[in-house]
Amino acid sequence: MRRRTFLKTAGAGSVIALAGCAATPTGNGNDRPPRATIDGTPGGTLTVATYSSFTGEDTAGNYLKSAFESEYPNVTVEFTVPSNGVNQYIQRKQSGAPIDADLYVGLNTGELVRADEQLDDSLFMHSRDYLDRGDALNSDLEIDPRGRAVPYDTGYISLVYDESAVEEPQTFDDLLESEYENGLITQNAQSSDPGRAFLLWTIDARGEDGYLDYWSGLVDNGVKILDDWQPAYQAYTNEEAPAVVSYSTDQVYYHGEGVNMARHQIGFLNDQGYANPEAMARFADTDQPALARLFLDFVLQPEHQATVAEKNVQFPAVTDAQLSEEFAQYAYEPPEAVTFTYDRLKGNVDTWIEDWAREVVGN
């Protein structure tokens, strides 16, 4: 019955609404045009691909949509939230399937590297030099040497620890001490952003040749590696260990009357935190390049940057955004931010992670 539906659909070249089956002529888009401009009033629909928690009630995405639409009344912002993130679009590009979004929001360095390694033609188009707000960007956060991905906020990976149970861990070596035996929960670097950031941080601290030994020491000292941030933090909340790899903004959620702040101390190992900037980029196949660029510039406006950062519980990507006093008081920035550049990750990151995973699983 299903087959027949398909064939009939193909013959008529129409859309079957009930099943959500559709048939459209196949073909490819073009590549990388120069700076696009808008004649007259901006209008049309802008489709933003992102992760699910960026949208919905009381989110950064919803705020941006309302603000952008009230600034440009003829524009409608729509969100699409593919469950497998940017991989969805890499795979679409690989198989010649259409990309039905204009820009992607929520890209990190590793994902950009993966997109470039997987594809011959770039998934994204250049934006950086065409932006009015480009100069305001915090240059440490610019992850793309080719200027396609533009940062809009950043988090810092740090430890969150319970000062009533352990001393503040100061260095990576401290975590190998008996005081921290069975004392740390982290995440699987193969599938979790903070887990991956923490692994890269140890590679930065111990070098490519030393990090596996360091991890072997962590494993001997009883480090627990769970699949993602939520189970890890949940286990920390349930007092399974006195420290967890998390974000330096932890206290934004936990302060004030009746909160036991002892359990929400931020530990910057070596006085560092690992920066994990989030970026946005225009798809090379978009038919709305000018409107998408307008959106990028809009997100980088100081007032929008402050709101997006606070709603995402992250830090802004521009130097002139003003965070609210309360937020700034509880969101800690590390004395020194470390992060691997695009060029360092390219060609290396997959091997690093695979070697790490094999090391920690043991046999």
Partner 1 sequence: MSRWAERAALPAAVVATIATLSVVFYYPVGSVFVEAVLESGRLTADPLLDILSDPFYTGVAHHLFVDPLGIPAGVLDWITSGFPSVALGRFGFTAYQAALSTVASVALGLPGAYVLARYDFRGRRMLKSLTIVPFVLPSIMVAVGFLAMFGRAGLLNDLLGSVGLGPIELLFTLKIIVLAHAFYNAPLVTRLVTTAWESVDRRQVESARAMGASPLAAFRDVVLPAILPSLLTAALLTFVFTFMSFPIVLALGGLRHATVEVWIYARVQALDLGEAATLATLETVLSLVLTYLYLRYEARQRSTSGAGQSLLRKPLTIGWQTLRSPTRLAIFAYGIVAAVVFVGPLLSLLIESVTAPDGSFTTAYYEFLFAQQAASAVGTTKPLPAIVNSIVYGLGTLALAVPMGIVVAMLAVRGGRGSRLAEALLTAPLAVSGIIVGLGLLQTMVFGTVLFGYRLTAAGPIAIIFAHAAAAYPFVTRNVAPALGGLDSRYRDAARSLGATRLRALLEIELPLIGAAVLAGAAFAFAISVGEFDSTVLLAEGVDSYTMPVALERYVNNRSLGPNLGPATAMGTVLLFVTGLSFVVIDRLGGRWEP
78 to 97, contacts with partner 1 by CB under 8 A?
Answer: 78-84, 87-88, 90-92, 95-97
The whole-angstrom separation of Cα 264 and Cα 160 is 6
List all residues 6 or more positions away from 21 whose beta carbon is below 8 Å from its beta carbon.
5, 6, 9, 15
Q: For the segment 188-217, give every residue that binds partner 1 (CB under 8 A).
A: 188, 190-191
Nearest distance from C-beta of residue 150 to partner 1, angstroms: 22
**Would you count residue 165 as binding partner 1 (CB under 8 A)?**
no
Contact of 138 with 114, CB cutoff 8 Å: no
Binding residue for partner 1 (CB under 8 A) from 38, 136, 176, 219? 219
Instruction: Select from 48-56, 123-131, 161-169, 276-284 the region that touches partner 1 (CB under 8 A).
Output: 48-56
- As given in the structure block, the two tokens for residue 302 are 């100081």
| 14 vs 319 by CB, closer to partner 1 | 14
Instruction: Select from 197-205, 257-265, 287-295, 300-308 the region that touches partner 1 (CB under 8 A).
Output: 257-265
Q: For the segment 54-83, give every residue that binds partner 1 (CB under 8 A).
A: 55-59, 61-62, 65, 78-83
Residue the block writes with tokens 């740390």:
184
Binding residue for partner 1 (CB under 8 A) from 30, 120, 238, 325? 238
Nearest distance from C-beta of residue 35 to partner 1, angstroms: 30
β-bridge partners, 48: 79, 103
| 138 vs 307 by CB, closer to partner 1 | 307
Query: Cα–Cα–Cα angle for 295, 296, 302, nearest 5°?
Result: 100
Nearest distance from C-beta of residue 132 to partner 1, angstroms: 28
Contact of 153 with 278, CB cutoff 8 Å: yes
Contact of 207 with 219, CB cutoff 8 Å: no
DSSP-based three-state secondary structure for 48: strand
